[in-house]
Amino acid sequence: MRALVIDDSRTMRRIVRATLAAFGYEVHEAEHGQAALDLLEGGLEVDLACVDWNMPVLDGLQFVTRVRANPLWRAVTLVMVTTESEHSQIVRALAAGAHEYVIKPFTADALREKLELLGLVPEPVAAGGVA
Amino acid sequence: MSPIAHEEVQAIAQEVFAAMIDGEPESLVPWPDAGTGSDAVVAWVDVHGPWLGRASLETSTPAAHELARALLSMEADETVPREDVVDALGELANVVGGNVKALLPEHGTLGLPNVADRLPDGHLAAAVQRVPLAWRGHPFVVTVWEVAEPTVSVREGER
């Protein structure tokens, strides 16, 4: 399976990348929503996109809205991975088309549980991994 | 009276370190407030909305490098590029600030993180919670600031 990690923090991209790679994903990265859209428009096909909310250029909510508006990308599962933890924000993201919501900080186990709920069952991961 | 309690700020910081860095909440412990010395690094995010304020993290430069190595799963003797230290500290501030924002009675928006050797001039906020902690023997101070008037100068995106 292929994943796209979208976060303006290089640190967080590396953490999420390492976590998903341990699950067996081939991982691509983008530093904001527009860069991610460019990759998708360029033909990158992914099963999963892990999307930060607060980013320059094009934020996570705008990215989710744009992806959901394009039927070609209907198969992409969108997971918000963000510090925005208020209930109203979660509702906004889900209403825009996100499938799941992970609040930072999170553990590898928490992310794996969310992916299992989505049917994106990862490979077994080494014990003790954190993100 | 501050809408955010000292214990809540400490719990957020410990949770962040447990999940992102050490895997255990005991790694970040209360510490006498002796400041962070002359080689400080400060990371902060601003909160905009009905409550105007800022969450900042302050530590020493050696600690900032060690934190970046820990976050990036690097070896203890590896050199961390400055941009990685800045990014790592900024992301820590972002996660702590986001969780502080969630404690507010009225929701606002979070700015992008900033990192510098000190808070910017025009920093007109008052500290409503200052939580001195230590991580691996290094000082690590989390402060929540409140702005009485919307006059704080914000420099966003300076990673």
| DSSP calls for A63-119 | HHHHHHT-GGGTT-EEEEEES--SHHHHHHHHHHT-SEEEESS-BHHHHHHHHHHTT
- All structural domains of chain A: 2-117 (3.40.50.2300)
Distance CA B151, CA B149 (A): 6
Mean pLDDT of chain A: 92
Asked if pLDDT for residue B15 goes beyond 80, the answer is yes
Q: What is the pLDDT of residue B35?
A: 72
Read off the pTM.
Answer: 0.87
Q: What is the pLDDT of residue A30?
A: 98
Other C-beta atoms closer than 10 Å to the C-beta of B111 total: 19
Distance CA A112, CA A123 (A): 9
Interface-testing mutation among A7, A11, A89, A107, with chain B (most B C-beta atoms within 10 A)? A11
Q: ipTM beyond 0.95?
A: no
Nearest to B59 by CA among B34, B26, B36: B36
Task: Kindly determine whether residue B73 and residue A86, on different chains, have CB atoms separated by under 8 Å.
Answer: no
Q: What is the mean pLDDT of residues B28-45?
A: 86
Nearest to B23 among A10, A85, A130 (CB): A130
Q: Indicate if the alpha-carbon torsion angle B9, B13, B19, B25 is positive or negative.
A: negative
Distance CA A99, CA A108 (A): 18
Q: Which residue of A has its CA nearest to B114?
A: A9
- All structural domains of chain B: 6-29+37-146 (3.40.1550.10)
Asked if pLDDT for residue B10 goes beyond 70, the answer is yes
Within 18-57 of B, beta carbons closer than 8 Å to A belong to 18-20, 23
| Residue A77 in tokens | 């599962």
Task: Kindly determine whether residue A10 and residue B112, on different chains, have CB atoms separated by under 8 Å.
Answer: no
- If 0-12 CB within 10 Å is exposed, 13-18 middle and 19+ buried, where does residue A110 land? middle
Q: Give the H or E element holding residue B54.
A: strand B53-60
